[in-house]
Every structure is written in structure tokens, then in C-alpha cells.
Structure 1
Amino acid sequence: MDLKTASALRRLRLVSVPEGISWIVLAACTIIKYTVAEGFDAAPVLGPIHGVLFVLYVIFWADAWNRAKWNAKTGAMYFAYSIIPGGGFMAERRLRREAEDAVIASRARREGVVEAS
């Protein structure tokens, strides 16, 4: 994995958790607004924050998809993580694992270790 691909995956990973948190908090505040506290409205504050984080996620997702050469299934999966509540946490975990696997593979190639098939 080259440096630009690793950077693209890292950016996507770093924005995925805040985006996931903002989605959950916005959904919780909306539920509270319509059930418990009728005067409570956090959407004017939380909506734009979540919107910016979502747009950043989509931009970083497109860059990572382009650089990592994901197939359509993998690209769609990472996009779906931005839509489901808490999906950002799942995306971060998978991206971290992918980065760790790339580091291990790079070290193995450098040391001349051949993978058993």
C-alpha cells in the first residue's frame, strides 16, 4: 500500500467515529424532542455539525475508494456504514484492521517471508 492510499484510509478512519457519534446524538436528541421534552430542540446546533461530518465522510470515502481500488461491494459497504447509526464505529474498526494487515504484509515482504496459500 502506497503512502497516498494509507493517508486516504486514515482520513476516512479518523472521520468515521465523530460522524457515527454525531449521528447517534442527533437521533437521540430528535427522539427526546418528540417524546419527552417538547421544547427541547438541538437540531439547529447538531444538524449542521453532523452534516459537515457526513460530507467529510463521503469525500474521504470517495478518495479512499479511488485509491484503495475497492470493488463495488466494499465501497458500498463503507458508504452504508455512514448511513446506519453507529456504523462509523464499524467502519473505523474494519479500516484499522485493514491498515494493520497492510503493515504486516509490508513487513513480511521486506523480510522475505512468503505467505502460505
Structure 2
Amino acid sequence: MFKSITLFRIIAFLEGVSYILLLFIATPIKYLGDDPQYVKLLGMPHGVLFMAYIAFAVLYRTSFAWNTKQFISVLVASIIPFGTFYIDKVYLKNLTHEES
């Protein structure tokens, strides 16, 4: 279980970083600088990380004993900037300490 939660934490972190870069750097450059290159560059990795984050959340819901409210919070956090960092701090970090 330790390895899976560590991988989930890494994916959550990378998904959060890619989302922030996409929203706050690539998108303004696209619309203010008329240069869509960065959105194209960051879009695919963010999409893959987003899908991986959702897949891990669904796969490990029962393993981590999340109730419905917690599970929905984990899912919704993926569409809120900085949301995955909050989930890591509140839910995932505590699981790591319990498993080690």
C-alpha cells in the first residue's frame, strides 16, 4: 500500500502543478500574447495526469476508506486550482504516515 499512496501523491502533485502552469502561464500567453504553443505543450501531459489522478482516486477509494463526502472532495479537487495540494495535505499525507 505504501508504494501506491506514494505514486498517487506524486500524480496529485504533478497534476496540480500542470494545472497551475496551464491556467496561469500558458492560457494568458495564448490569449494575451497570441501564442498557443504553451497550451499545446502543457495540455496533453495535464490531461494524462488528470485522468491518472481520477483513476487512482476511484481505484483506491475503498482501500483508503474514504466516505462519499471525502471521495467527492478528492474528485472535485482535481478541477480547482491548488485543490490537489489540499487533498495531499489533508488526506494523502496522513495515509503515508499510517502506512510507514
**Counterpart pick for 1:45 among 16, 27, 41:** 41
C-alpha contact 1:23 1:85 (8 A) present in aligned 2: yes
Shift of 1:49: 0.6
2:27 is aligned to 30
1:79 is aligned to 75
1:55 and 2:51 correspond = yes
Under a length normalisation based on structure 2, what TM-score does the superposition of the two structures give? Answer: 0.84
Larger radius of gyration, structure 1 or 2? 1
1:13 and 2:9 correspond = yes
Of all paired residues, the percent bearing the same amino acid is 30
Structure 1 residue ranges (4+ consecutive) displaced by more than 4 angstroms after TM superposition: none
C-alpha contact 1:12 1:60 (8 A) present in aligned 2: yes
Q: Aligned pair in 2 of structure 1 residues 21, 53: CA closer, same or farther (>3 Å)?
A: same
1:99 is aligned to 96
Larger mean Cα displacement after TM superposition, 50-59 or 25-34: 25-34
How much is the aligned-residue C-alpha RMSD, in angstroms? 1.9
C-alpha contact 1:14 1:92 (8 A) present in aligned 2: no
Q: Which amino acid aligns with 1:96?
A: K
In structure 1, runs of 5+ residues without a counterpart are 105-117
In structure 2, runs of 5+ residues without a counterpart are none
2:17, 2:31 → 1: CA distance?
20
